[in-house]
Structure 1
Amino acid sequence: MSHTEISGPGEGPYGVAVADGVVWTTLVHAGAVVRLSADGPQRFELAAPESRPMVITSSGAGVWFARSGDGHIGHIDAAGNVSAVAVPGSPYGVCVGPDGALWCTLMDTDQVARVAADGVVTTYPIGVAGAFPAVITASDELWFTLNQGNAIGRMTTAGAVTTYPLPTSGAGPVGISAGGSSVWFVELQADQAGRITADGKIEEFPLPTGSKPHAVVATEDGGCWITLWGSGSLARLDAGGSVVSVFELGAGSEPHGLAVDADGSVWVALENGSLAHIHAGE
């Protein structure tokens, strides 16, 4: 495992994405995005210190990211051009949907928004008041966590919503990731991982007490990687939901987002100012 210093004290790497083999991360407290190039970190200032860029996703050779502090979805293309689209709420989760458009959750308005290639924004209500929709992911449909609604939401690209209550009360789901025939998610307040199938069946799997799982990425073998924010570590789960490996990232590291590269290695954003890289085969 190696670490790459990305930012100064207090700037807070938060989300991670890999676009065409290039690693990107958001600096939530600095209003900036960083791209790792062959010459080292390249920084993009958003000219909006209050923007709070958070979750980030790849889009071809560029990236989209949620500017939760100022109600915009940011975009940086392969050439390094920075742009933004205003959305009617505070965005958090972002993903590219099955229709090729950018989709995001709006935490404070209980909506999901679609941002078309021409910048047109369409919003869809999730139908649950005060649910605080968080991370969103895509398979043939859209799936998202309802952090305060204690449920998983499912939405078609036409805006039809189905919600699935979690078996554990007060679980506080945050991260979610589609992969294979199921969707993995994490329950930050319950110290559990969860999995939901296309027919709505939910399974929950225990994680170490106090680990506070935050982000998750599904893997091709049916398992997943999870950041354990509370314990400063990264866990690997197999297809049966068992923890098969744990990587300690350091006291005070505060791991948030993660991404899996094409070679199977894992990148993790550490709010203490660096990116951790767990190489394939470690």
Structure 2
Amino acid sequence: MTQEFHQETHHVSIAEHVVSDGASGPYALTTGPDDALWFTLVHSGEIGRLVPGAEPTRHRLESPDCGPTVITPGPDGALWFTEYRADRIGRITVAGVVDEFDVPRPGCGPFGIAAGPDGALWFTETAADRIGRITVDGDVTEFPLPVTGAFPSAITAGTDDAMWFTLNQANAIGRIGMDGAITLHSLPTEAAAPVGIATGRDGALWFVEIAAGQLGRITPDGRITEFPLPDRTARPHAVTVDAEGTAWFTEWGANRIGTLTADGTLTVHDLPTPNSEPHGIAVGPDGAVWTALETGALARIAPAGRST
């Protein structure tokens, strides 16, 4: 199913906060329990922390080439993250104490991670066709997918006591229950290559199709709606949903941030720095939306007139 929308231009204020040099690569970010932004530096092997208005701090991991990617709040008051190139799951307290846990399968490439309704963290293994689960004590369980070469990517907790994830190379959205039962939902568009996924305020899931230039929405019973972007080459990468139910997404290939409201209104905003490579996106502790720019900054997007 494809849904049309009308495009409007709304005035927003975008402020970039430099947190690293261009070689370190802020990749993903989230709001921590300490009301700070926590972010991964994928190329320098660090976890960063930014309180809006203050100087950022950075915490080195065991290996500078471990490739920290997605980061999420855990159920234990710490932040949990994946180390894509080191096959590890990491944990950092708000005080900066780091623990790292090996995933049993070498070369599995953990990428997405999110807290589940069972008090554990669930993650994707991009190169092993598995969904992993790690307890706050570091015990790992793995669940094989019913397809091969699927490249499971982002993952989020749904409102139905299950985890939902994208299968980038299998062109599908997956669901895994707390009992390990897996259901796959094929996308209507061929070779759409879904990446980011987020839970909506209405119980549905929003996702982005990086190769098709579309947003998607899937209900818990598997009904899928796709929203083509005006620029089908924009390479949408990540998505989040704000308190009003608006989906915000990064256009990695077009240097823009976009929004899609519940009534189908789409808006796109150019980022001030050319070729800034927006990747992760999240609602910040101040209620504004923030995105990680791989060229070295976190950008804050808010209605014009709201203080930065």
- TM-score bracket, shorter-length normalisation: over 0.9
Matched, 1:196 2:218: yes
Q: Look up the match of 2:21.
A: 8
Give % identity.
Answer: 44
Question: Counterparts of 1:247 and 1:262 in 2: how far apart (Å)?
Answer: 23
Deviation string for 1:89-124 (max 9, x for gaps)?
210000001112111000011000100122110000
* Unaligned runs of at least 5 residues, structure 2: 1-13
What CA distance in whole angstroms lies between the structure 2 residues aligned with 1:194 and 1:55?
A: 21
Give the alignment's TM-score, normalised by structure 1: 0.96
Q: Do the aligned partners of 2:22 and 2:294 also contact (CA within 8 Å) in 1?
A: no
The 5-angstrom pairing of residues 219-234 of structure 1 reads: 219-234=242-257
Q: Distance in 2 between matches of 1:195 and 1:267?
A: 22
Q: How does 1:47-196 map to 2 (within 5 A)?
A: 47-59=62-74, 61-87=77-103, 88=105, 89-139=108-158, 140-180=161-201, 181-196=203-218
Q: Following TM superposition, where does structure 1 have runs of at least 4 consecutive aligned residues deviating by more than 6 angstroms?
A: none
The amino acid that maps onto 2:241 is: A
Would the aligned equivalents of 2:200 and 2:245 in 1 still touch at CA under 8 Å?
yes
Cα distance between partner residues in 2 of 1:81 and 1:97: 23
Residue identity opposite 1:261 in structure 2? G
User: CA offsets, 1:16-71, max 9 Å, x none?
Assistant: 01112110111111111111146411110002012000111122643111100010
For the 8 Å contact 1:216–1:226, the answer to whether it is kept is yes
Check conservation: 2:172, 2:187, Cα contact below 8 A.
Answer: yes
SS where residue 230 of structure 1 aligns?
A: coil
1: CA distance, partners of 2:281 / 2:130: 25
**Partner amino acid for 2:47?**
V
CA contact (8 A) 1:179 1:220 kept: no
Is residue 252–residue 279 contact of structure 2 (8 Å, CA) maintained in 1? yes
Per the alignment, residue 215 of structure 1 pairs with 238
Q: Deviations over 1:164-185 (max 9, x none)?
A: 0000000010000012220000
* Amino acid paired to 2:44: A
Shift of 1:10: 1.4
Distance 2:292 2:272 in 1: 10
Matched with 1:27 is 41
Q: Which has a greater percent of strand?
A: 1
Residues 1:238 and 2:253 are matched in the alignment: no
Query: How far 1:245 moved relative to its partner?
Result: 4.5
Contact 1:66–1:94 under 8 Å retained in 2: yes
Cα distance change, pair 5–102 in 1 and its aligned pair in 2 (3 A):
same
Unaligned runs of 5+ in 1: none
Question: What is the number of residues matched between the two proteins?
Answer: 282
Distance 2:141 2:167 in 1: 20
Distance change in 2, residues 1:44/1:262 (3 Å): closer
Q: Secondary structure at the match of 2:253?
A: helix
Whole-Å Cα distance in 1 between the matches of residues 232 and 66 of structure 2?
A: 33
Q: Root-mean-square deviation (CA), in Å?
A: 1.5
Q: Deviations over 1:103-146 (max 9, x none)?
A: 10000110001001221100001211110000000022100000
Q: Verify the 8 A CA contact 2:37 2:285 in the aligned structure 1.
A: no
Is contact 1:234–1:249 with CA below 8 Å preserved after alignment?
A: no
TM-score, normalization: structure 2?
Answer: 0.88
Deviates further, 39-48 or 162-171: 39-48
Decide whether aligned partners of structure 1 residues 222 and 117 sit closer, same or farther in structure 2, where only a CA change above 3 A counts.
same
Amino acid at match of 1:209: R
